[in-house]
Amino acid sequence: MRIQALPTQLVNQIAAGEVVERPASVVKELVENCFDAGATQIQIDIEQGGVRQIKIRDNGCGIDKEDLALALSRHATSKISSLDDLEHVMSMGFRGEALPSISSVARLTLISRVAEADCAWLVSADGTEQNFNPQPDPHPQGTTVDVRDLFYNTPARRKFLKAEKTEFAHIESLIQKLALARSDVGFLLNHNQREVLNLKPTQSEQDQLKRIAAICGEGFVENAIKIDYTASGLHLYGWVGKPTFSRSQQDMQFFYVNGRLIKDRLVAHAVKQAYQDVLYHGRHPVFVLYLELDPALVDVNAHPTKLEVRFREGRMVHDFLFQALHRSLAEQRPGSLAEQRPGQPALVVETIDVQLDEVEPRPVVSQQTALPMAHVADNQVNDVSAYKVSSGRSVGSYQPSPRPSPSFLANQVDAYTRLMPEKSTPAPVEPESAMPPLGFALAHIHNIYILAETANGVILVDAHAAHERVTYERLKNHYHSRAIVSQPLLLPIKLQVSAAEADLAEQEQALFMDLGFELNRSGPQALVLRSTPALLSKTDVDQLVRDILADMLTHGTSQKAQETINSVLATMACHSSVRAKRRLSIEEMNALLRDMEKTERIGQCNHGRPTWVALSHQELDKFFMRGQ
């Protein structure tokens, strides 16, 4: 057959195949148009799950009468006019395909009025981009798009739609996500003439938290950590759930880039890495996060639905997200939470302005010049007391609390005595006004749980879990403060890799040296491994190097080596921590409480289990109906 131009309606229907997957797709395109129009109130009326009718009304700036026909024509938009505009786009829509695509598979009516017009104007469209005949209408300022009988002229597409309840569930979930993106906009959602969602515009952070609670639940807000982090021109803010408040599914993860809801593997990977040693196995974190950056650094035109984006500096964004979340989670110590009033969400603001490229790599020292950590690795923390922890701000940096005589403690918990200084004077009991965040110990219940009285109530501590985290953070601090110990291999390991992996290994040779690996290229698709981190002497380093290269090719960075090192340190910490059924003295329990107050990520053990829980005066009173 000869080459021929396709009919306009068919072209729009083909475009609709990419943009209009189901009724929720129509709602997304139209609501995002409302955002671009500056609307502060949006009403969405749905009939029969959106198949019969989708009607969206806003109070935005409206469309001029002369532009109505263009609004319903493909590749016509007011949002970009040049390639430079496209590379710096901040609007939600810009392709100029949504309205003509929708009109080609449904019966569409558009009514709009600008502020200075005497009346609104109404046009209907069928995807042919012809026979527009504007009619006057009493509609107020703003725009209404009425979409009826979706896929009426493409019955094959209609057969793929699910039940009415399922399709509306997709719409409701979408509106909730969009409402989190724009808390300054009010949303009214009706289904079959019944109000389902009514969210008022927010004026303050507390109002925003109420909206988040209405969508994500009160539990999320009560267990939220506030993030506010700035570095290298990137700004991340929002809320993440504590590691102990997690989900079995990834259904409560909302991430927005310059106000646009996205799903991105790079973002997911960075979040997973930040939570990797505080989250229980098989659980997923919850978050509502907003990333702001120069529009030129992100390509929002990577996918027709605009749910996926492409970061121009992916590695920088990944490292930024990881650092922001990792540091904010690390700062969650009991002292920062004790000052919260009962019933108030635990919010901690972390605003830091640093340059990512200012971080200097850790030096790699030889096996012969760095005996301490090699000794720890070989002897499973046989003499940790020999290592003094610095008082800097690095991970786990603190001085342990005083304790009673070493001989007495040795009969109780041998491992814990090795982590405490040679002092015999217990910490003096201070008045309640100066009571520390975790209070003072009262009893060791069932030889497992520490019961302590605090200024606001009582707490229960799992002694083994808490001491495991204290020990783990201390070991990590030791390991990194003394630099990574590199151990030469008796026989070098030859690795067969792809050409791309060999190129990457050659380019990132300095990075591998920082991690303790001496990795050289020996051919187009071959590498030779001559040295490895001493702590990983019993690890399958062959596979580890391959995993690091695969991660770097996919995400631009890798934490595989660090994860493996942490795993070894976590095992060491677990085996050297207080065991259940070991009776602790009051002095020992208080010493552990003081160490907990100074330890990062103390809310969870190395396996993600909670280390302590609190009961306030009000909660205790409720148990016994006091004051009722």
Domain with residue 153: its CATH number is: 3.30.565.10
pLDDT band at 378 (very low <50, low <70, confident <90, very high): very low
**Are 368 and 472 part of one and the same domain?**
yes
**Are 49 and 106 part of one and the same domain?**
yes
As a whole number, mean pLDDT of residues 409-425 equals: 40
**Are 531 and 590 part of one and the same domain?**
no
Structure tokens at 611: 């280390």
Does residue 482 surpass a pLDDT of 70?
no
| Residue 563, domain member (yes or no) | no
| Residue 566, domain member (yes or no) | no
| Residue 243, domain member (yes or no) | yes
Total domains present in the chain: 4
- The CATH number linked to 493 is 3.30.1370.100
Q: What is the mean pLDDT of the chain?
A: 79
| Residue 482, domain member (yes or no) | no
Residue 458 CB partners (closer than 8 Å, separation 6+): 439, 442, 451, 452, 614, 615, 620
Does residue 544 surpass a pLDDT of 60?
yes
For residue 47, what pLDDT is reported?
97
For residue 246, what pLDDT is reported?
86
As a whole number, mean pLDDT of residues 619-627 equals: 88
As a whole number, mean pLDDT of residues 261-284 equals: 86
323: left (phi over 0), alpha (psi -120 to 50) or beta: alpha
Beta bridge pairs of residue 187? 42, 199
**Are 94 and 218 part of one and the same domain?**
no
Q: What is the 3-state secondary structure (H, E, C) of 172-229?
A: HHHHHHHHHHCCCCEEEEEECCEEEEEECCCCCHHHHHHHHHHHHCHHHHHCEEEEEE
Final residue of a structural domain among 528, 558, 588: 558
0.75 exceeded by pTM: no
Does residue 336 surpass a pLDDT of 60?
no
| Residue 405, domain member (yes or no) | yes
Final residue of a structural domain among 199, 218, 253: 199
- The CATH number linked to 472 is 3.30.1540.20
| Residue 511, domain member (yes or no) | yes
**Are 137 and 77 part of one and the same domain?**
yes
Does residue 430 surpass a pLDDT of 70?
no
- The CATH number linked to 277 is 3.30.230.10
DSSP state of 279: S
- Per-residue pLDDT tens over the stretch 92-129: 867 667 888 898 899 999 999 999 999 999 999 887 77
44 touches 189 (CB < 8 A) = yes
Percent of all residues in the chain with a pLDDT value above 90, rounded to a whole number: 38
57 touches 189 (CB < 8 A) = no
Greater pLDDT, 1 or 505: 505
**Are 434 and 522 part of one and the same domain?**
no
**Are 430 and 349 part of one and the same domain?**
no
Final residue of a structural domain among 176, 199, 222: 199
- Per-residue pLDDT tens over the stretch 502-537: 998 898 888 788 778 899 999 999 999 999 887 677
For residue 157, what pLDDT is reported?
85
| Residue 287, domain member (yes or no) | yes
Instruction: Give the phi and the psi of residue 194 in degrees, each rounded to 5.
Output: -120, 130
**Are 409 and 521 part of one and the same domain?**
no
- Per-residue pLDDT tens over the stretch 591-616: 999 999 988 888 888 778 889 999 99
**Are 194 and 49 part of one and the same domain?**
yes
**Are 402 and 277 part of one and the same domain?**
no
Q: What is the 3-state secondary structure (H, E, C) of 221-253?
A: HHCEEEEEEEECCEEEEEEEECCCCCECCCCCE
| Residue 565, domain member (yes or no) | no
Residue 441 CB partners (closer than 8 Å, separation 6+): 450, 451, 452, 586, 589, 590, 593
Does residue 290 surpass a pLDDT of 70?
yes
Does residue 423 surpass a pLDDT of 50?
no
Does residue 370 surpass a pLDDT of 80?
no
As a whole number, mean pLDDT of residues 165-172 equals: 96
Greater pLDDT, 31 or 302: 31
**Are 167 and 132 part of one and the same domain?**
yes
For residue 248, what pLDDT is reported?
86
- Per-residue pLDDT tens over the stretch 435-453: 899 999 999 999 899 999 9
**Are 233 and 329 part of one and the same domain?**
yes
Does residue 351 surpass a pLDDT of 60?
no
Q: How many CA atoms lie within 13 A of 291 on its CB side?
A: 28
Q: What range defines the domain where residue 32 resides? A: 8-199
Compute the distance between CA of residue 437 and CA of residue 335 in angstroms, rounded to an integer: 5
